[in-house]
């Protein structure tokens, strides 16, 4: 009863947002497993596979800012709900689209990406109104830990589904999960504390007192040009781009690296591939709590963000530079686990920085930075496919990603700030 009495409505919101990200990444990553039997069935080469894996991100990029603007205007609850239903439908439509040809499959993947594009801008718009500053790193960390857990679920379950029922059922089963989430979300979530029908006065006051002081002018235009003139905004943009280069390359190519680069058979590829993602899940939540504790101790927010970013980008870059040279499967996976564990600390760096510098425009700003962060899903994944087809070098694929990560770290350390820049 004590736990129930202390439970806050915002905890339910964070939990359901975590589940939305979990479903999002199950549906995004499943094709990385399914592409292996699909390529065999349809005779696709690595370059074609890279195109299919990357086309999702064209749609994902299109709706980033639009999703953030709509979420800031109408509330993240309804925009996130629409996105989940949208992408779930096109997940289910993927097998018949593949049977109809590459063009139809690419169109379906682009449309699916458009639905997923509103996910993080909607969540950030919600958190900007619901989550006190002292809880934001751990809340975003928990939410983002839905990424590796979704990957793990897809990597472990998808091969079993493909082997027992055929690769088509990967999309049918995973696509149906979004409908279950929607029903729960509809009855529990609200766009802000004032709209929640059963929130306590105590929690409303707790949230209000924990948010940064603002003087919002509801008639003011969104400061788009001002955002793009801001050096701290560009620090987040570049960091987001560089972070997602390695993230999306691993999301799309890790199962293939495990099977073809390390020689693990397809049936066990999911179990082997899941270890780095489990490391991310655990350490995302550790890093979130560490970052919040640092802020609560009185350390300047800017310093906290830069320390966490250095640990995160430094760790993942070091792992990327060496993992492609390792031929022993367990050792390569161990290096990737260490890299992902350290890389999780970016959740206390750029990943939470949007709400520091622009609390009332967090959805729009997330839409902007994630638009740039989506470009590696197009370029990085496709380039990796061409590198593999031209050279066969996994080491080169990972070292390019490591170099991009180092550039992002330097840029962030030079320009980032944890101080509020916009009301």
Whether the CB-CB separation of 141 and 110 falls below 8 Å is answered with: no
The confidence score (pLDDT) of residue 212 equals: 67
* Alpha carbons within 13 A on the beta-carbon side of 371: 14
User: Greater confidence, 415 or 211?
Assistant: 415
CA distance 270 to 1: 40
- Rounded to two decimals, the pTM is 0.77
pLDDT digits over 114-167, tens only? 999 999 989 988 988 888 878 888 898 899 889 888 878 887 888 889 889 989
Give the whole-angstrom CA distance, residue 264 versus residue 298: 48
C-alpha to C-alpha distance for 93 and 98, rounded to whole angstroms: 9
Q: In whole angstroms, give the CA distance from residue 227 to residue 224.
A: 5
* Torsion sign, CA atoms 286, 287, 288, 294: positive
Could you give the count of Cα atoms lying within 13 Å of 113 in the half-sphere of its Cβ? Answer: 25
* pLDDT (average), residues 362-370: 85
Residue 358 contacts by C-beta under 8 Å, 6 or more apart in sequence?
227, 233, 364, 365, 420, 421, 422
Phi and psi torsions of 405, nearest 5°: -65, -40
Element (DSSP H or E) covering residue 354: helix 350-357
Answer yes or no: is pLDDT of 12 > 50.
yes
pLDDT tens column, 26-58: 998 888 888 888 888 888 877 788 788 878 888
């Amino acid at each position: 009863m004590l736990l129930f009495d202390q439970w806050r409505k915002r905890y339910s919101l964070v939990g359901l947002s975590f589940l939305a990200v979990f479903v999002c990444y199950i549906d995004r990553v499943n094709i990385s497993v399914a592409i292996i039997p699909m390529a065999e069935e349809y005779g696709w080469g690595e370059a074609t596979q890279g195109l299919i894996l990357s086309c999702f991100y064209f749609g994902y990029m299109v709706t980033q800012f639009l999703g953030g603007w709509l979420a800031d205007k109408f509330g993240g609850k309804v925009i996130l709900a629409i996105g989940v239903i949208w992408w779930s439908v096109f997940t289910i439509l993927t097998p018949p689209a593949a049977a109809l040809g590459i063009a139809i499959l690419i169109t379906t993947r682009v449309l699916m990406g458009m639905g997923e594009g509103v996910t993080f801008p909607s969540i950030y718009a919600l958190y900007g109104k619901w989550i006190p500053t002292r809880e934001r790193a751990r809340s975003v960390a928990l939410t983002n830990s839905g990424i590796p857990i979704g990957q793990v679920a897809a990597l472990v379950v998808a091969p079993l589904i493909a082997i027992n029922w055929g690769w088509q059922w990967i999309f049918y089963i995973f696509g149906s999960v979004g409908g279950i989430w929607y029903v729960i979300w509809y009855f529990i979530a609200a766009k802000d504390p004032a709209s929640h029908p059963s929130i306590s006065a105590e929690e409303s006051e707790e949230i209000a007192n924990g948010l940064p002081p603002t003087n919002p002018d509801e008639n003011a235009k969104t400061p788009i040009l001002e955002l793009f003139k801001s050096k701290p905004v560009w620090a987040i943009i570049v960091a987001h781009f560089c972070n997602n280069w390695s993230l999306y390359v691993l999301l799309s190519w890790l199962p293939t690296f495990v099977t073809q680069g390390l020689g693990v058979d397809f049936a066990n590829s999911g179990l082997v591939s899941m270890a780095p993602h489990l490391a991310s899940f655990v350490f995302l939540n550790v890093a979130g709590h560490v970052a919040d504790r640092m802020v609560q101790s009185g350390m300047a927010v800017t310093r906290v963000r830069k320390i966490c970013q250095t640990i995160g980008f430094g760790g993942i870059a070091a792992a990327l530079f060496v993992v492609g040279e390792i031929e022993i499967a367990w050792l390569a996976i161990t290096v990737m686990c260490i890299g992902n564990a350290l890389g999780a600390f970016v959740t206390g760096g750029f990943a939470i920085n949007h709400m520091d510098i622009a609390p009332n425009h967090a959805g729009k700003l997330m839409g902007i930075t994630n638009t740039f962060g989506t470009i590696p899903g197009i370029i990085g994944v496709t380039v990796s496919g061409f590198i593999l087809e031209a050279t066969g070098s996994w080491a080169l694929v990972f070292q390019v990603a490591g170099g991009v990560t180092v550039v992002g770290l330097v840029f962030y350390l030079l320009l980032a700030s944890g101080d509020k820049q916009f009301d």
